Chains A and B, each alone.
Chain A
Amino acid sequence: MTTEPFVVLAALLFSIGALGVLVRRNAIVVFMCVELMLNAGNLALVSFARQHGNLDGQVAAFFVMVVAAAEVVIGLAIIVTIFRTRRSASVDDASLLKY
């Protein structure tokens, strides 16, 4: 099986994730969309690993997972902290840094 369908799927998922980041206001959902984008990237990496016949892409995907895990931990901690003080998880509410 050729690689193209996988890559196209990855592109689609990435775009959908980006769209989600832009339109959703719940910070947790935004985070999930970011995870979706990361996963799409992983899919592309693994696909290209198979395309090129070596395992470097898989290693990269592995690292992405690690980074994503760390990011989720910190991100969610931040969300919880914000929620604790503002009683809201909407990204639009934290908009004091403006003109």
Chain B
Amino acid sequence: MSPLLTSFSPVSAALPMSSLMTPAPMSEAASAVAPAAAEGVFSLMWLIIVLPAIGAAVLLLGGRATDRWGHLLGAATPIASFVLGVVMFAQLLGRPEDDRAVAVTLYDWFDAGAYHVEMGLLLDQLSVLFVLLITGVGSLIHIYSIGYMAHDDRRRRFFGYLNLFVAAMLMLVMGSDYLTLFLGWEGVGLASYLLIGFWQYKNSAAVAAKKAFVVNRVGDMGMALAVMLMFATFGTSSFAGVSAAASEASVSTLTALGLLLLLAACGKSAQVPLQSWLLDAMEGPTPVSALIHAATMVTAGVYLVVRSDFIFNEAPAARTAVVVVGVVTLLWGAIIGCAKDDIKKVLAGSTMSQIGYMMLAAGLGPAGYAFAIFHLLTHGFFKANMFLGAGSVMHGMNDEVDMRRYGALRPFMPVTFLTFAMGYLAIIGFPGFSGFWSKDRIIEVAFAENIWVGLAALIGAGITAFYMTRLVLMTFFTRRRWAEEAHPHESSAVMTMPLIVLAALSVVGGVLALGDWITEWLSPVAGIEHHEAGLPAWVFTILITVTVAIGVAVAWVLVGKRDVSSTAPANVSVATKAARADLYGDAFNEAVLMRPGQYLTRSLVYADNKGIDGTVNGVGGLIGGSSGWLRRLQTGFVRSYALAMLSGVVLVVAALLAVNLA
């Protein structure tokens, strides 16, 4: 290893940008602190990404030879990365507050004229949290998958894809340039596609994978355009370069950049209007839903917005757009979650809704960045916990996903129930649990920003309490509505152990906020700004708790007290129908985008066939026809040619003579 290390260490010099940069004033954007050069353990930073990448390569290229131990290798690599991440986090903790960003330049990625992109990694306060979340939750989910996928004969490939995802996600959060971020961005998109369609023999899975991929392309277009615009405006796309130059750019450019980045974030984080793919993405194996479509990948949009704080801070319009998207999505996802009977889809709607909270917080600017990331982390814990719990339930119920076929599972799955309950309490914001701390802060800041935004966030919290209570009641309480062949049982230790760890994290995740630790920690990256709401904090706490209690009570009255039928009732209100149809998001896409697109394509094909092809073929036919006529002159008789030649001679001589005589 040491020769490899020495080959890397000289490259890992300070960023060239650092000399150009002057630290921006704290009030504007605190993220412009020059990252320090990597030394010591940080020179191994690349290993965090490379380990899972090697795992993916070995598992995907190794073939059947790795079938026997592939899942162990697949689980080992994120654990190793996690250990590395923890060590680096500890190192960062020991450093002074303004010297916690470490950059490594691995090599020049490409050098095209004025555009110079380095393959560089940046580990700062923000990305190290993500590294810990990704590798930590990722490791747990890998371990869980060993049990969950035990009966799948393609388990090795599953682990290969998971490792690929982890590597790409780490690339996304550790890249020091928007283009390296984009590399990871596309990588997670690919891994997501592969994993949603992992059971591609199911038509629904294949279609869902394609849908996710296509919708993500729309967002990726925004990302690509943003990078191009950065290059056109600033001549660079590195975080350091853009943040240094952002304050001098025009507001309109920054607004355009912000909106493009928001589009990218919407695609990846399933925000309105690009939300439609997430519910279908639940076709993938449940650990995938937990890791990719709840805990990590879908939060990439939030990461992008927070990482681009230097752009959004200067572009209030773009920030407002982020807030609007966040508010709409948090209500949208919550409403969908109320009507779905598929346990994973309820959780998916909930994920959309919770990411809406994060976007809302991120859109509030320096006041909300830290809370967005805080909620992102706690959400990563409790949502992964609940997804894995749902997977455990499905595992015991013959892969049944319809909650109307569950009921009264509590005694049969005690561990699953207890861990799920921890996640449940966390997400609804039960006082003391992690969600309570993170969500309350967001709602508080939202109220401070705008009363209506705050109210929407508050109502969202109530709805969240309603649908999560409904989920828990329909699954673990009420009467049995099982299918006849169902034999519910508790899952094996390899699956319950991660559940326990995640449940513990869901409970105690709030400690991150102790003494505003996370705000202080992130302040060099995301800035800090205290908003004073009109009312003291305890008023909000009571307000939120009461709202949540109302939501729980309504759920108890509507679901817990009544007899839940084992099939979905058909005669329901218009609102329920709309919510069951994902609030007509797909119908909207189909009517507004797909149909006109198809018509456009068809008319273009028609124009191409008739107009352009017709012209081309017509010209060809004309020339061909006249050629056929002209070729009759080529009789092959030498005497005909001689006659033509003699006629030519006569003409030439006559011309000469005419000139002479004239």
Contacts and interface: CB of A to CB of B under 8 A. Distances in A.
Interface of A: 18, 21-23, 25, 91-92, 94-99
Contacts of A97: 634, 636
A96 B636 contact: yes
Given A97-B634, A99-B634, 14 more contacts: A21-B642, A22-B639, A22-B642, A23-B639, A25-B639, A91-B638, A91-B639, A92-B639, A94-B638, A95-B637, A96-B636, A98-B636, A99-B631, A99-B635
A35 B635 CA distance: 26
Interface string B640-652: 0011001000000
A63 B643 CA distance: 27
A99 B639 contact: no
Contacts of B646: 18, 22
A91 B635 CA distance: 13
Nearest to B638: A91
13 contacts: A18-B646, A21-B639, A22-B639, A22-B643, A23-B639, A91-B637, A91-B639, A95-B635, A95-B637, A97-B634, A98-B637, A99-B631, A99-B636
Contact of A98 (B635, B639, B642, B643): B635
A45 to B, nearest CB: 17
B561 interface: no
B487 interface: no
Contacts of B631: 99
Contacts, number: 32
Contacts of B151: none
Contacts of B638: 91-92, 94-95
B632 interface: yes
A91 B636 CA distance: 10
Given A18-B646, A22-B642, A99 B637 contact: no
A62 to B, nearest CB: 25
B235 to A, nearest CB: 63
Contacts of B639: 21-23, 25, 91-92
List the 6 closest pairs (A to B, CB-CB), nearest first.
A98-B636, A95-B636, A99-B631, A99-B634, A98-B634, A91-B638
A71 to B, nearest CB: 16
Interface in B616-662: 631-632, 634-639, 642-643, 646
Nearest to A27: B638
Contacts of A22: 639, 642-643, 646
A25 B637 CA distance: 10
Interface string B244-260: 00000000000000000
Nearest to A91: B638
A92 B642 CA distance: 12
Contacts of A94: 638
Contacts of A92: 637-639
Contacts of A96: 636
Interface in B194-214: none
Contacts of B643: 22
A97 B642 CA distance: 15
B572 to A, nearest CB: 79
A95 B641 CA distance: 11
Q: Which of B632, B635, B637, B643 is the most central at the interface, judged by chain A CB atoms within 10 Å of its CB? A: B637
Interface in B415-454: none
B186 to A, nearest CB: 58
Contact of B632 (A25, A91, A99): A99
Contacts of A18: 646
Contacts of A99: 631-632, 634-636
Contacts of A23: 639
Nearest to A97: B636
A31 to B, nearest CB: 12
Contacts of B634: 97-99
Interface in B315-331: none
Contacts of B637: 91-92, 95, 98
A95 B636 CA distance: 4
Nearest to A19: B646
A92 to B, nearest CB: 6
A74 B635 CA distance: 25
Nearest to A98: B636
Nearest to B650: A18
Nearest to A21: B642
A92 B637 CA distance: 6
A8 to B, nearest CB: 15
A78 to B, nearest CB: 12
A76 B634 CA distance: 26
Nearest to B639: A22
A91 B643 CA distance: 14
Nearest to B628: A99
B437 to A, nearest CB: 91
Nearest to A18: B646
A21 B638 CA distance: 10
A35 B469 CA distance: 115
A67 to B, nearest CB: 19
Contacts of A25: 639
B660 to A, nearest CB: 16
Contacts of B635: 95, 98-99
A92 B636 CA distance: 8
Nearest to A25: B639
B647 to A, nearest CB: 10
Nearest to A92: B637
Nearest to B632: A99
Interface string B75-119: 000000000000000000000000000000000000000000000
A92 B643 CA distance: 14
Contacts of A95: 635-638
A3 to B, nearest CB: 18
A22 B640 CA distance: 8
B622 to A, nearest CB: 18
A22 to B, nearest CB: 5
A18 B631 CA distance: 26
Contacts of B632: 99
Interface in B599-627: none
